[in-house]
Structure 1
Amino acid sequence: MKLPRSRMSLRDLGAEAAAGVMQRPARSALTAVGTVLGVGALIAVTGLTSTAASQIDARFNQLTATEVTVDDIGPSLPGQPGPAFPADADARVERLHGVTAAGVSWHVRLQPGQVIASGPPGAAYAVTDRQAQLTAVSAGALRAVGPTLQQGRVYDKFHEEHRQRVAVLGSATASRLGITNLQGQPAVFIGSTSFVVIGILADVQRRPDLLTSVIIPRASAQDLWGAPVDDPAKMLITTQLGAAAQIASEVPLALRPDHPDYLRAIPPPDPRNLRSGVENDLGQLFLLLAAICLVIGAVGIANTTLVAVLERSGEIGLRRALGARARHITAQFLAESMALGLLGGVVGASLGTVTIVAVATVKQWTPVLHPATIATAPLLGLVTGLLAGAYPAWRASRIQPAEALRR
């Protein structure tokens, strides 16, 4: 009499897989840790990268996206027409709608023998600072850099119009010159020319080089040392959010309607390119770490499943003797490893999401995570378990019943 071939339904397969996982819950939990870490790291990395990129976009909009620079290219043109910025450049640009502050600046080239010091040449108490840079900055440009004052004040249009010899020092320069406070109206000397120090900068939002400079009014510098030649002037413009590109297109004509080609306005770069670059750089690095975690998890599942096959060889032999086919044994152990992978994927996705929300809350950011990423995380754990259990399941299917029952 020919017996019918044994069959295993999906329900029976699921029950066997659950029984195999729950038979040793502690070991199953430890086995799933690798997948939990891998999937959790993947979710956390993806979400934190998107969240950080979004935050960078916001900061970019607050500073760089509201900044336009204008270069004077007149001295480099054939015939060298000379400096292109008119004397009233600040006023012309600030009349444009959307401009919050604008001004011209350049580095002043000192004459041979001239140094920056805290006293006149030959004075015994004079401290010389050979690292400091003398920078001519209009009142509008000084507002545009977003200064934070340590002491005193910054100069304004009045000082410029009357060509007063006043100076603002960067904090580093003031420290090197020994000017720690403004009592007694200290002065700095450029050669034999003195400038009264009226303010010391603690920080700036833009142009950090000014913190190591002696900053003087543009008009005063031009009277003493002339217009810039070797180091052309630049204009810094700060705008309202969204106005930078339009201002960049209008500035050359507003400054030089006769020769707008003497000036080159540089609008802020597209923040989408910045975001893409951040996501690519961070994503590639951290996704590699997540992949390593997944590989470790897969190795852990494979190792545990293989050990389980060796420990349960008697059970496998008995099943085979009672009519279980090789593919049933393969399916059983694959189902167990896939269950572990699925469990790790679900727990890892949950932990990754909690991590993103926690970090965003601490940093006061807005968490950003695509729903598709969370939805595919358990599937990724399932595939990891499938791949990890392939070899142990094949080994289990190759066990011969007679040999297994003799052990």
Structure 2
Amino acid sequence: MRRTNEERRLRSRMRAGEAIRLAAGGLAARRTRSILSALGIAVAVAALVSVLGLSDSSQARLLAQLGAEGNLLTVATGQTFSGNITPLPSTAETMIGAIPPVEDVTAVGTIAGATVRRSAAVPEMDTSGISVVAAQGSLLPALDGRLIRGQYLGRAATTYPEVVLGFSAAQNLGIATLGPQTQVFIDGRYFAVVGILAPVVVAPELDDAALVTFPLAKAELGFDGTPTRIYLRTDPDRTAAVAAVLPFTASPDAPDQVEVRRPSDVLAARLEARNTFVDLFVALAGVALLVGGVGIANIMVIAVFERRTEIGLRRALGARSRHVSVQFFLESILLSACGGVAGVALGAAVTWVVATVQGTPPVVSLGVAGPAVAATIVVGAVAGIYPAARAARLAPADALRSA
């Protein structure tokens, strides 16, 4: 008698590999339903992976910019309590350049009253918010700027009417390509457009500007030569110290009316804001994952109801209730895990495509993919508890009677 019980116990044991094959077979037999059920999990995981991947990609670019632009400072004209603009002294650039830690300095001057239009036929009031700025040849090297079209202001631009447009200014004027006839109308005469700047992250005011040389601005546009903004590069280890003395160096008589900024602070604020939005999107992706888990639980409950005959037949052939429970429990886990793996692959693909289009290095961390799949396994396990328990409670006779 003891031997008979032992033989029955051994026969009733289900190995792990056999249980997984049985669960996989149950899902494969209902392929369309399984794919649609796993799709909800896949979309949630793909959203999670792509949001975090794109955030990491953008963060890597912003951190690189922070490292490159952390030693850039700007000095600009301030305002009095009455709101009047206080111009920088004409000696400000020279005095700032004499500070030992300052490595590079350049100045620009906004030309008040000058307008930029596509042609003389455009009404004078329609300026599209474009300002005319006198700039030095050292501007691009100081800002690490670059051109997307043409060339920067050279020696000829000190005599002949040539202009370089900021990125947004060129878009507002409808200029995408350059040619011999590409011109804009500035303050009563035509200027040849010789170049278009790429967006300048650390100096966004230049994106909406039309740049001309200082000599030409003085000769043709009535510019008095007084700078309105000075950009400088410093020794990275001494940037804060230079920033502290800049107001007194640029304008000794009125240091409180000089505005000193560190453009990298804007990048840091942008990085902080991006991280806040990422936290929100991750939370939304988590909610979507829970919704996908509810969908899997619902599908598994329906599967138990539809497969009562199968359950009854297995029980009649000797399968125990725990074997039936394990089968449906594993089916739920496999269904959710397959959706998780598919979601990671889809999210990685989306990250790569979007990051490549944006010109940022695609970053898909394995530290995100692993926990994402693990989370889907947990969701699948939780979703499978009730359907598995319900399948185990079905009596063989009742299940076969419903066939």
Same structural fold, with TM-score higher than 0.5 when normalized by the shorter chain: yes
What 5-or-longer segments of structure 2 have no aligned partner?
none
Give the CA RMSD over aligned residues.
5.2
Q: CA deviation at 1:282?
A: 4.6
Closer/same/farther in 2, CA of residues 276 and 116 from structure 1, 3 Å limit: closer
Q: Does 1:302 align with 2:300?
A: no
In structure 2, what is the equivalent of residue 58 of structure 1? 64
Mapped partners of 2:90, 2:71: distance in 1: 24
In structure 1, what is the equivalent of residue 104 of structure 2? 100
Mapped partners of 1:53, 1:372: distance in 2: 16
Q: Structure 1, residues 174-209: CA drift from partner, whole Å, max 9, x if none?
A: 999xxx9699xx99656xxxx895875533644122
Picking from 33, 45, 69, the partner of 2:74 is: 69
In structure 2, what is the equivalent of residue 122 of structure 1? none
Picking from 34, 41, 53, the partner of 1:35 is: 41
Picking from 20, 26, 29, the partner of 2:23 is: 20
Mapped partners of 1:383, 1:363: distance in 2: 35
Q: Does 1:382 align with 2:386?
A: no
Give aligned-pair identity as a percent: 27
Alignment of 1:348-387 (within 5 A): 348-350=343-345, 352-353=347-348, 356=351, 365-387=360-382
Q: CA deviation at 1:346?
A: 3.9
Mapped partners of 1:41, 1:116: distance in 2: 44
In structure 2, what is the equivalent of residue 137 of structure 1? 134
Closer/same/farther in 2, CA of residues 307 and 95 from structure 1, 3 Å limit: same
Alignment of 1:122-161 (within 5 A): 129-132=124-127, 135=132, 137=134, 139=136, 146=145, 148=147, 153=153
SS of the counterpart of 1:70? strand
Closer/same/farther in 2, CA of residues 61 and 137 from structure 1, 3 Å limit: farther
Q: Structure 1, residues 115-165: CA drift from partner, whole Å, max 9, x if none?
A: 89999xxxxx99873444774635378656758585894579x96xxxx99
In structure 1, what is the equivalent of residue 207 of structure 2? 208
Picking from 273, 277, 280, the partner of 1:277 is: 273
Give the TM-score of the pair, scaled to structure 2: 0.68
Mapped partners of 2:41, 2:71: distance in 1: 45
SS of the counterpart of 1:39? helix
Amino acid at match of 1:139: Q
Q: Does 1:45 align with 2:51?
A: yes
Amino acid at match of 2:107: G
SS of the counterpart of 1:21? helix
Q: Structure 1, residues 242-297: CA drift from partner, whole Å, max 9, x if none?
A: 47555433422322345433322111216444223223325534763575366346
Q: Is the 8 A contact 2:14 2:323 kept in 1?
A: no
Q: Structure 1, residues 102-121: CA drift from partner, whole Å, max 9, x if none?
A: 214235258xxxx89999xx
Alignment of 1:215-254 (within 5 A): 220=218, 234-239=228-233, 242=236, 245-254=240-249
Q: Does 1:85 align with 2:88?
A: yes
Closer/same/farther in 2, CA of residues 151 and 342 from structure 1, 3 Å limit: closer
Q: Is the 8 A contact 1:153 1:198 kept in 2?
A: no
Paired residue total: 376
In structure 2, what is the equivalent of residue 403 of structure 1? 398
Mapped partners of 1:65, 1:16: distance in 2: 59
Q: Does 1:314 align with 2:313?
A: no
Q: Is the 8 A contact 1:169 1:200 kept in 2?
A: yes
Mapped partners of 2:229, 2:380: distance in 1: 61
Q: Structure 1, residues 29-60: CA drift from partner, whole Å, max 9, x if none?
A: 52444434433442233222211221233346
Q: Is the 8 A contact 2:136 2:213 kept in 1?
A: no
Q: Is the 8 A contact 2:93 2:250 kept in 1?
A: no
Give the TM-score of the pair, scaled to structure 1: 0.67
